[in-house]
Amino acid sequence: MIKTIKRLKIAVIGDVMLDHYVFGNVDRISPEAPVPVLNVKDEKFYLGGAANVARNLKDLGVNVYLIGCIGKDESANIFKKLCENENINAKLIETNRITTKKTRIVAHSQQIVRVDREQKQPIDYKTKNEIVKAVTKENIDAIIISDYGKGVISSKLIEELRNIFDKFISVDPKVNHTKMYKDVDLITPNLKETQDMSKIEIQNDNDLKKAANIIIKNTKCKYLLVTQGENGMTLFSQNGFTYHEKALAKEVYDVTGAGDTVIAVSTMCFALGFDPIKAVKLSSIAASIVVGKRGTSSVKFEEIKDYL
């Protein structure tokens, strides 16, 4: 099984970002304004956005190929160094916009503010072609579209990927981009995203089924995997098949990045030819492990084996 996973190659295409954490203590209020004064004790950088999906795949043992856009700035240098440290094979296309960076200020283990540095304009035609060219150079078994709405993902890009590659394509969606995801194999929204994408307020299982059917009808995706936090996750298919998996987590410390883990594991399973129920079960196990860790985390295949 592990040998098979190590032969698998999955491309992650999307909005990469640098996650920056500043840790400290607050023991006074500023005399300049009624705001807390943070006494900084430490700071750390992590791979964020599409890069965290790639990190999840790498930790599972998959050969991962990350494709995204960065700026020509210090954040880009830090990001590239993190990719090297994680042994992630990355094609990072330099653009004239800044590298997306999210700074979270944390005092006494509590996030008190987040500062975003980003530009959201769509990438140009030349950059889009570079992305497609980068994928065609590799012997890819599956593609994950990680869409955070920062301008990398477009309907034209997805259409070209779908036309060129007869491979499994999954999408971690951005709500207002629903129309872009035509004919992909798998979409993995959370409950709120499912409501927004379908325009249906979900209060029970019937509402969830209606919402899922609307999304499947509008996108023509083969599978829709809706994650519902403590209520588990439900898989809906184009042919009417439905399967629900209860949440397995006993203790939840941090849900950050759980969606990245779900799309990484589910795509890996489908690419390996697993049946849908097994794919959902393993995704649920992986999610239960990752929410039991603090901070943006990932899961190693050995942890899933130990759980089983």
Q: How far apart (Å, rounded) are the C-alpha atoms in residues 291 and 85?
A: 24
The side-by-side arrangement of strands in the sheet containing 142-146 is 89-94, 63-70, 9-14, 142-146, 168-172, 186-187, 223-227, 233-237, 242-245
Q: Where are the alpha helices (DSSP H) in the chain?
A: 2-7, 50-60, 74-85, 125-136, 155-164, 191-198, 205-219, 258-271, 276-290, 301-307
CB 243 within 8 A of CB 234: yes
Is there a catalytic annotation at residue 306?
no
Catalytic: which of 27, 260, 275, 306?
260
- Identify which of 246, 248, 257, 247 has the alpha carbon closest to the alpha carbon of residue 293: 257
**Tokens at 111, concatenated:** 């996030």
- Which region, left, alpha or beta, applies to residue 307 given φ > 0 means left and ψ of -120 to 50 means alpha? alpha
- Residues labelled catalytic: 260
